[in-house]
A = this chain, B = another copy of it.
Amino acid sequence: MSTTPRSVGWLGTGRMGAVMAARLIDAGEDVTVWNRTASKTGPLVAKGARAVERISDLGGCHVVFVMVATPADLEEVICGEHGLLSADQAGAGLTGAGRRPGVIVDCSTVSEETSARVRAAADAAGVGFLAAPVSGNPHMVAEGACCIVASGPAEVFEQARPYLEEIAKLAVHAGEGEQARLVKLCLNLYLGIMVQALVEVTSLAEKGGTDRATFLEFLGGTVLASDWVRRRSGDLVSRDWTPTFTTELLRKDFDLGLGAARSLEVPMPAGALVYQLIQSAIGTGLRHEDFLSLYELQAAAAALPGDQTVPANETLPANQRRPANQTLPEE
C-alpha cells in the first residue's frame, strides 16, 4: 500500500461525512475511507475511494478528515488505543500504514473543551490539528453550498485549504486556537435572536391584520430576509413545529454560547433576553418542538387566536416523539 502526500483520509462516513468525502472524490482526490460500520463506505468505494479496516491504516494519508457523531467518538478515534494518534511515528510525508497523519481536520460538532483536549493530544504527538465545523446540511454540501470555518495553526490551515475548498464554497481561517468552535456558536446565537425577531414582527403584522403568509412572503422578497428565513417561512405559516432542531437543543447552544461570552466578558443583551424566552418556551411546553415554536410563546402573550392545533410533540409519549437533528440548527 502506497500513498502520495496528496492522498487524503476520511474517518466517519455518516450522512454528512459521506457527501463531504464524495466531493473530494469528485474533485479528483485519492481518498481512503474508514467507518465503524464498514458497509457504509460502499457508495464511496463505488465512486473510487479505497476502504481500510483499521483507523491506523489512515496514517499513510498526510491529511485525515474526521466527521463523527459525538465528542466521545471524536476522542476515541483520535486519542483512543487504536486511534489516529496511536501509531508510534508521525507520518508527515511518509508512506504506509502505522504512521500518524500529518494533519487531522475535525469537522464534527463538539464543545470547545473537547476540541482543546484533542488538539493538545495531537500537538503532543506532533500532529497538526484543525477544528473545522461546517455550516450547511448534507443537501447543501452535495451542491457545494456549505461553508467551513477552521481554526488551528496557519500552516496547518494552508495544508488543508485545498481540500476544504473542494468541499465547501467558502473556507475561512478563524484563528490559531478554538475560534472555529466559537464562531459556530456565534452563528447559533445569531439564529436564535433572528427567530425571536421574526416571531415578534410576524405577530405584530398579524395582529394588525396581515396574515402570516402574506407578511412572510413580503419579508422573504426583501434584502432583509436570509435564505434560512425563506426556507422556514412555510413551517411558521402552518405552525408546523415538527422539530428540525428542538427548543431544548437551542437552549444547549445558548448555554455554550453565553458561557463563552461570560468567559470572554462580552455582554450579550439580546442573546441573554432570547435565552430567557427560550427557557420560558420550554417551561410552557415547547421543549421538544422545533425552536420556531417560539412563535407560540409570543402569540400567547399577544393574545393572538390559535388558528390551528398542531399535536404537540411535548405531549406525546417519549417513544412517539418526532426526533430532531442533534446537529447545529442552520444545517
Which residues from chain A sit less than 8 Å from chain B, CB to CB?
Answer: 135-136, 140, 145, 147, 149, 151, 169-170, 172-177, 179, 182-183, 186-187, 189-191, 193-194, 196-198, 200-205, 207-210, 214-215, 217-219, 221-229, 231, 255, 257, 260-262, 264-277, 279-280, 282-284, 298, 300-303, 330
Q: Are A208 and B260 in contact (CB under 8 A)?
A: yes
Q: Are A207 and B266 in contact (CB under 8 A)?
A: yes
Closest Cβ of chain B to A296, distance in Å, is 12
Nearest residue in B to A140 (C-beta to C-beta)?
B223
Q: Are B209 and A270 in contact (CB under 8 A)?
A: no
Closest Cβ of chain B to A74, distance in Å, is 21
Query: How far apart sit A207 and B186, CA to CA, in the bound complex (Å)?
Result: 12
- Most chain B beta-carbon neighbours within 10 Å: one of A172, A267, A271, A301: A267
As for how many copies of this chain the complex holds, the number is: 4
- Most chain B beta-carbon neighbours within 10 Å: one of A187, A190, A231: A190
Q: Are A208 and B264 in contact (CB under 8 A)?
A: yes
Nearest residue in B to A181 (C-beta to C-beta)?
B208
Once A197-B197, A260-B208 are accepted as A-B contacts, the answer to whether A272 and B276 lie under 8 Å apart by CB is yes
Which residues of B have CB within 8 Å of A223? 135-136, 140, 145, 226-228, 231, 330
Q: Are B270 and A284 in contact (CB under 8 A)?
A: no
Q: Are A267 and B283 in contact (CB under 8 A)?
A: yes
25 pairs of residues in contact across A and B, judged by CB atoms under 8 Å = A136-B222, A136-B223, A151-B210, A170-B221, A172-B214, A174-B205, A174-B210, A174-B218, A175-B209, A179-B205, A179-B208, A186-B204, A186-B215, A189-B204, A193-B200, A196-B269, A207-B264, A223-B226, A224-B228, A255-B262, A264-B302, A266-B302, A267-B277, A272-B273, A284-B300
Closest Cβ of chain B to A195, distance in Å, is 10
Closest Cβ of chain B to A79, distance in Å, is 25
Once A173-B214, A301-B284 are accepted as A-B contacts, the answer to whether A203 and B274 lie under 8 Å apart by CB is no
Q: Are A302 and B173 in contact (CB under 8 A)?
A: no
Interface of chain A: mostly helix, strand, loop or mixed: helix
Which residues of B have CB within 8 Å of A204? 182, 186, 189, 257, 260-261, 264, 266, 268
Q: Are B196 and A270 in contact (CB under 8 A)?
A: yes
Which residues of B have CB within 8 Å of A177? 209
- Most chain B beta-carbon neighbours within 10 Å: one of A170, A207, A270, A273: A270
Q: Are B301 and A222 in contact (CB under 8 A)?
A: no
Q: Are B277 and A269 in contact (CB under 8 A)?
A: yes
Query: How far apart sit A135 and B220, CA to CA, in the bound complex (Å)?
Result: 11
Query: How far apart sit A268 and B200, CA to CA, in the bound complex (Å)?
Result: 6
Once A209-B179, A276-B269, A301-B267 are accepted as A-B contacts, the answer to whether A218 and B282 lie under 8 Å apart by CB is no
Which residues of B have CB within 8 Å of A172? 214, 217-218, 221
- Give the 6 A-B CB pairs with smallest separation, nearest first: A280-B301, A170-B221, A193-B197, A186-B201, A147-B221, A267-B279
Partner of A174, one of B170, B214, B270, B273: B214
Query: How far apart sit A187 and B207, CA to CA, in the bound complex (Å)?
Result: 15
Closest Cβ of chain B to A23, distance in Å, is 16
